[in-house]
Each structure stands twice: as C-alpha cells, then as structure tokens.
Structure 1
Amino acid sequence: MREDERTERLLRILAGVLPDADLTPGFPLREQGLESLALTRVWFQIRKEFGADIPVSWLRRCPTPAALLARIAEHGGGDEAPEHTPAAPEPDDARDRHEPFPLTDMQQAYLVAKGRPDDPAGCHVYREFEVEDLDVEALERAWRKVVAHHDMLRAVVTADGRQRILPDAGPPAIAVGPRDAAGAVRERLSHHRYEPGARPLHTVEVSHAPDRPSVVHLSIDALIIDGHGLGVLLQDWWRCYHDPAHEPARPAVTVRGCVRQLDAEGRTAAHRARLDHWADRLTGLAPGP
C-alpha cells in the first residue's frame, strides 16, 4: 500500500472519533484525551483496515497520526490484506428500512434484566443542564429535529424481541414545570425504568424560571444509546437549538444496516475461528474467588 493511501485511510478512521478536528499527520492526537471506547474503536478499525494489532495502551500515548502511521508500518500494516475484511454495511432500501431487525447482544442483556420478575432492572442515562434565558419552544423544535434525524430515538422493541425504527415518533412534547420542582423531576427521571415495548424510550422535561437558569432534564434508555452516541446527540441538539437552520450530517448507513451486517459477520468462518481461540484461552484461566 502506498504511503499516501495509508495516510488517507488512517485519517478517515480518526475522523470517526474526532469528526470536528482538522486532521493532518502532525495533528496533536494525544492532547485530545480520547476515551477508552473511542480508542477501542480506533484499534478495531486499524486492525480491520491494515491488519496491524496496535495496543490500546500505546494508542492512548500516541502523539500524532504520523507516529501512528510509523507504528502501523512497523507491523507491516497495509502491505498484505488482512485475513478477513468485513464487508461494509449496505444502505437500507427505502422500502424496508422500517422493517424489524435483530437486537445486539448488549441490547438483549438489557432486555433480559428488564424482564426479571423478582428484581427488574433498567439501564438508562440521566443528564440535566442549567440554561440561562431558555427558549422552551426553540428547545422543543431542536429536539424534534434530532429525533427525526437519529433513527434510534424512534426505535421500539417488538413483541417478538426484535427492534424497528418508526417512520414518525409523533410530536415530542416537552413537559414544563416550575423551577422549584426540579428536585422532584430529578428524583423521578433519574430512577426511571422504561418498560419493554415502551415508546418513546426517552423523556425531556424542563423546570423553568424566568429570573434564574432553567433546568433541562434528559432521560434516555441505554437500550438505544451508548456513551459516544450520547455525545453526538447532545452536540446536535445544542447546535440545532442555537441555529434552527443547522442540519446534522447524515450517516452513510443506517443502524439497521450496521446491525444486520454484524449479524452476518457472526456467521463467518473468521468469526468462528476467533470465538474458538478465546474459548480455548478461557479454559486455562484460574477459577474465580
């Protein structure tokens, strides 16, 4: 692989976790303080794209993309094709993009925990923000836009244990109450458990005051979001609030397309080989306490 091609591919990988950065080979990568999930994503993409296994601990200390390129070259990255390159997810046809598709393993685990009759447990995210001079109508318009943009905010769990994206989630009304009730709203939403099949799997409320900062409360089921996704959602919501004309970038593929591709990859010989490898390693582990 030519050096310029290797550079282009690496910068494209890094853009996936640093979408707003002006990436060059000399970009100060270490100063960005990438979190573990982002680093793991970079590690996985490098291994898939170049066939090079760069330790995540080293990635955390990597100063620049140029240094990372040198490390990839040391591992022979890109000179030979990886043993198995997963196919890129194909865009969903407009006719079937709202059809049901499988839950991921993590989503299935969350769903099982919700259904325990003796001690049901939900995994969800709660955030709140104080906002000066809050325009509730603008906030609701912005929220409506991000719900329409992000498919998973319109996701529901079907009766047969799959998920589907609704074409329209309906008007996302934001309940508004007095600022003095913020504590009660916090107590209720921070402990909320969304029932399987509920819709929508998120709640936004405002504790409003004309003479001091209002509190925006956000509750969202972890069944439809992760840490990286939450960051993207909040960034898009904030931008749409301040600029009604802002249009978040459209992804090249849908969540449904990605999940279906992952499901297909799980049936490949390469996946079975990796599974057998780690199953064999686990048999040699010392017993637990």
Structure 2
Amino acid sequence: VDRKQLAAQLFLQLTHQEHVLSRLTTEVESKLAELWYQLLPVNELGKESNFFELGGDSLLATQLVTLLGQHGLSGKQPLRTLFIHPTLADFASTLSLGETEQLAVLVHQDEQRFEPFPLTEVQSAYWLGQTPGMPLTCGTHYLLELQGEKLDIDKLTWTWQQLVNRHDMLRATITNDNCQRVHEYSQKFKINIDIQQYLHLAQAQIAIQTWWQQSNSEHLQQALSIKVCQYGNGDNYRLAILFNYIMLDGYSIMLLLKEFATLYQKQELSLPDISLTFRDYVTQIKSNEQTIKDAESYWQQRLLDLPPTAQLPMVKEPTTMSHSLFTRRSHNFKAEQWFAIKAAAKQHGLTPSILILTAYAEVLSQFGGGQSHTLNLTLFDRQNLHPDVAHIVGDFTSLVPVAFSPDTSLSTVEHAKKLQIQLAEALEHRAVSSIWVQREKAKLVGRSAAALPIVFTSTLGMTDDLLANTFSGELPSFTPGGLSATPQVWLDHQMYELNGELFISWDAVEDLFPESMLDNMFAQLINLIDQLVDVNKPFICQLPESQQQVRSK
C-alpha cells in the first residue's frame, strides 16, 4: 500500500469536502467566530468547524488566546482547552463573556532610540555562553549559502546597505554591562563585500567553511557578515551570509531574506516605513505579575517530574570540551510527501510540527535507552500589540521545556495528542522560560543534570509563504550547505517550509557522540517521518545493531 498516495488523496477529499455547517446561535460563538475569521483562511464557519482542520497551529492558537481577552472572552486554561475541544461550539462552551482586557499599547520612543537597553533572557544566555572558560563555547551564528551564475556585486552591496540602514538591530552591539545599543548610521556599519576568486566550487566551499569556523570561534557582535566566492570561469558565484542569533531570530532572518530579494530585483521599490523598533518592544512589553506568579508555581511543581535530557551515548564529557564544532545533516521532503504528512495531521486535529516533534522525541528516546526525556522547544514569541511587530527584526526567541515518555501501547497519533496537550500547558505558562526552569532545577540536582542541551526549532506556520517564489530570476538560489551554532547546545533540530517542501536539518557537536551515531539517528528520523502518513499505528523502528552494541556497553 502506498501510504503517501492514500494520504494525499485523503487530504484532497478533506480540502474539497463540503461540510454542512450548523448556524451559530450564541453570542460567544459569534464573537469567537469573528476571531477565527481574522486568523484562519476561511469564508464560512459553523458549530462543527475545527480550528486545526482549518489550518490552525500552536502559533495561531496562542494569538487566538491573546485576542480572547481583548474581546471580553475568558476561560480556564484556554490554550489547553482549545487543543482538547477544537470545534467552535465546543470551545465556545468553555468561554464566558466579561470585561475587555486592556493590553499594553506600544509606541515608538524616538528620543531613546540610541540609548542602551537590557538584553532579553535568551540574548543574555547566548552572550554569556560565549565566555572563555565555559564548556562548549562558540558563536551564535546561522550560515546561509546561495549559488548562481549571476550576481551583481554593486547591487548586492547597495541592497544590504539599505537593509542595515532600515533595521536598527543590524546596527546593534552589546555593551560591557550586559545591555545592547543601537548605533546611528555611520561608516562603522557600511557594507563592504570582498570577492575572492577560486578555481572551482570545492575550493569555494572550503573557503566558506574556514571563514565560518574562524567567525564562530570569535566573540563577534555584528549582526551580519557576507562573503562572496567567485569560481570557475568567473560567471559562477557562491554567496555566504552569516547572521548573528543574538541580534536576529529565525523569523527575522527569513524576513531579511525576503526584503533582500525584493530590493535586489526591484531597486526602485520603496519598502513601507516601520514605526516601531525592537528596543520599543523589549522595553515596553511587561508580563502580568499574576501571570508570572502562576507560571513560576506551575513549573516549581513540575521540577522533579521533568525527566533529564535524553541520555544519549557519548564518547566525551561535555563539561570537558572547551569549544563546540558543529556539523550538519539535512533532508528535504518533496511537496507530495509533505502534503501527505500534513493530510494525516489535519485528519486528526494535530499540527504538522507536533507530528515531527513526536518522531524526533521518539528517536531521542530510542537512542537514549528507551527512557523519558525533556527537550527545549524554541518559541518565536512576538506579541501582536502593534501593526509593525511582524516587520521588525530582533531576537524574540524564548524556550519552553517539553517532556516525552515513550509508550509502546500508544499509536503515533495518541503519542502526538498527548504531546500536543503538554505543549499547550507549557505555552499557557511561558511567562517564565526554560532558562528559568533549568536554573531552578539546578538548585536541586546540579547544573549539568538540569541542563537541556537538545533543541527543537520549527518555523512552520510562520515563514511558509514568506519566501515562496522569491529567489528567482537573476538571484542566486538556496543551496545545500549552511550551518548554525549555539553555545552549550548538543543537538538542534530545525525545519521550515519553502515552496511546498519541508526542509529539515540537524546541527550537532559531532565530537560528543560515537562514530556514525548521529547518521543513524537522523536516518531513523527520516524513516519515522515517512511513517507519519499512517498515524494510527505505533512507530515501526529498530535500533541499528551498531548502536545496540554501544548501548550494551
């Protein structure tokens, strides 16, 4: 049976199936429907409408919960409840009408634009994690590579200079007192691109890797660096762009690439003005004191129940390694395969991210002795409190811990639904982050035992259409390669959608693990993802013999 083909057919049936929708009858249902219309690509809603079947995901769910309070709707643990009761009528029945919640109003403070302001919790962790003497130190960088036969260096330089002038965080540096400061326009932030000539592509790739390793070994502050390698007869180019995670999160990088492609191809175009800065956002966003207190209480109660990170076999003790050298494994699922997986998720009211997270957690458990474990999940937590929040660049990253307990009696969909509910609870209490949780747990079990160095990062639902059909024509195209690095991280799973395909990569500290283990783990993940089109069965997988031998030792 071709499961992918069956799932693709099912997705088409679900997409084009005409549902008989019952008319909304209560004021709460009508108010809720108004919010769903804002968030979901739908023209008609009824009592039976399912938030996740209509394209909702965890990101849209958190945005919906924020909107509830603004429109006088409230309920107990609404995010968790939405995942349990995703139909409009069922979810509406858990809500009540009350007073409209007054949220913060963000305003641009031009007179303070170039004054220092505090690092966020994650920025501070990234910066301090690079301190000499710390284990597994490295830069916080994301390397992107593009390749093509045409590249206008003058136009490339001009375009990126426009973006540096446009976005404050491309001109930011970190001060000695753990703050950051945006600088006014100056020669210091003038884009200079040096072109190097090489005989062939392999030499260009080696040069980029050497440049990457050198840059990632230094305590660099600049948000952006660019290297151009020209090779062959002079008409071939390899373009490498190095982004600094301290200044830019994953969504910000995608946004910059979108604007770069737009301006490079249409220099006469003027991008819309941005009336807010990252500094405005960071200094004005304040969590409710009761919300913080509730989150701290929730995580305090869970400290001893949270299992440790996956107990993967290691050949080196992480605390003895002074510097991290990352390597990458990557795979992309073609549109048909990815379409089928999304069909399976939609059929069961799951988000595609949760299905992939379930497979990832299962692989970590298998290679970690079949034990329960906790991983760090990356959030791009932009609160939609100003029309331009989605247009500014910066590091909006936060982290939440998510635990996984393997159970062979559960089907894949049952595992995923269990994980989805847990994620909803974690998001309900994201007012304190995983960094806080690890710090508190370290007081009980020690720093090493409390650390969560295995990460899951997904921009699905955020950037799916942002770069669609953008890099075309005279622009170089995305190419295999690239890499990322984060201090004190062992393994980072990353994924995004582009032009209908799913791209997955693992960036890991190779020297920590037994030879070939990461290859086997990644192959096992791809195998499990292939099985996701039939989620009513448990995962079918077996630990490779070589890894069974490692485990037995």
> Which of the five TM-score ranges fits, normalised by the shorter chain?
0.7 to 0.9
Moved more, 45-54 or 227-236: 45-54
Structure 1 residue 106: deviation in Å? Answer: 1.0
2:193 matches 1:174: yes
2:246 matches 1:223: yes
Residue number among 274, 293, 316 corresponding to 1:272 in the alignment: 293
Preserved contact between residue 196 and residue 230 of structure 2 (Cα < 8 Å): yes
CA distance in 2, matches of 1:162, 1:68: 45
Sequence identity percentage: 22
Preserved contact between residue 222 and residue 244 of structure 2 (Cα < 8 Å): no
Preserved contact between residue 91 and residue 253 of structure 1 (Cα < 8 Å): yes
CA distance in 1, matches of 2:155, 2:162: 11
Gaps of 5+ in 1: 15-22, 60-66
Q: Give the alignment's TM-score, normalised by structure 2.
A: 0.42
SS of the residue 1:53 aligns to: helix
Moved more, 167-176 or 214-223: 167-176
CA distance in 2, matches of 1:117, 1:33: 47
2:139 matches 1:122: yes
Task: Describe how 1:124-273 pairs up with structure 2 within 5 A.
Answer: 124-168=141-185, 170-180=189-199, 181-191=203-213, 192-193=215-216, 195-196=218-219, 198-209=220-231, 211-262=234-285, 264-265=286-287, 268-273=289-294
Name the structure where strand makes up a greater proportion of residues: 2
One-letter amino acid matched to 1:269: Q
Residue number among 90, 115, 127 corresponding to 1:111 in the alignment: 127
Which digits, 9 at most, give the CA deviation of each residue in 1:126-164, with x for residues without a partner? 011013321111111111111122222111101111011
CA distance in 2, matches of 1:8, 1:194: 51
CA distance in 2, matches of 1:72, 1:205: 52
Structure 1 residue 24: deviation in Å? Answer: 4.6
CA distance in 2, matches of 1:138, 1:240: 9
Which digits, 9 at most, give the CA deviation of each residue in 1:169-201, with x for residues without a partner? 5311112111445223321233222755x4523
Structure 1 residue 45: deviation in Å? Answer: 1.8
Structure 1 residue 250: deviation in Å? Answer: 3.9
Q: Which residue of 2 aligns with 1:44?
A: 62
Q: Which residue of 1 aligns with 2:505?
A: none
SS of the residue 1:42 aligns to: helix
CA distance in 1, matches of 2:208, 2:53: 34
CA distance in 2, matches of 1:44, 1:208: 45
Task: Describe how 1:94-105 pairs up with structure 2 within 5 A.
Answer: 94-105=110-121
Which digits, 9 at most, give the CA deviation of each residue in 1:102-143, with x for residues without a partner? 111111111111113254322210011013321111111111
CA distance in 1, matches of 2:269, 2:243: 23
Preserved contact between residue 179 and residue 214 of structure 1 (Cα < 8 Å): no
Preserved contact between residue 189 and residue 219 of structure 1 (Cα < 8 Å): no
- Cα distance, 1:85–1:105 mapped onto 2, change above 3 Å: farther
Q: Which residue of 2 aligns with 1:64?
A: none
- Cα distance, 1:85–1:280 mapped onto 2, change above 3 Å: farther
Preserved contact between residue 142 and residue 240 of structure 1 (Cα < 8 Å): yes
- Cα distance, 1:248–1:72 mapped onto 2, change above 3 Å: farther
Structure 1 residue 212: deviation in Å? Answer: 3.8
- Cα distance, 1:3–1:167 mapped onto 2, change above 3 Å: farther
Q: Give the alignment's TM-score, normalised by structure 1.
A: 0.75
- Cα distance, 1:131–1:246 mapped onto 2, change above 3 Å: farther
- Cα distance, 1:188–1:201 mapped onto 2, change above 3 Å: farther
SS of the residue 2:97 aligns to: coil
CA distance in 2, matches of 1:246, 1:240: 7
CA distance in 2, matches of 1:58, 1:218: 43
Gaps of 5+ in 2: 1-26, 46-50, 69-73, 312-553
Bigger radius of gyration, 1 or 2?
Answer: 2
SS of the residue 1:200 aligns to: coil
SS of the residue 2:210 aligns to: helix
Aligned length: 263
Preserved contact between residue 155 and residue 166 of structure 1 (Cα < 8 Å): yes
Which digits, 9 at most, give the CA deviation of each residue in 1:224-260, with x for residues without a partner? 1111111111111111100112333444532112212
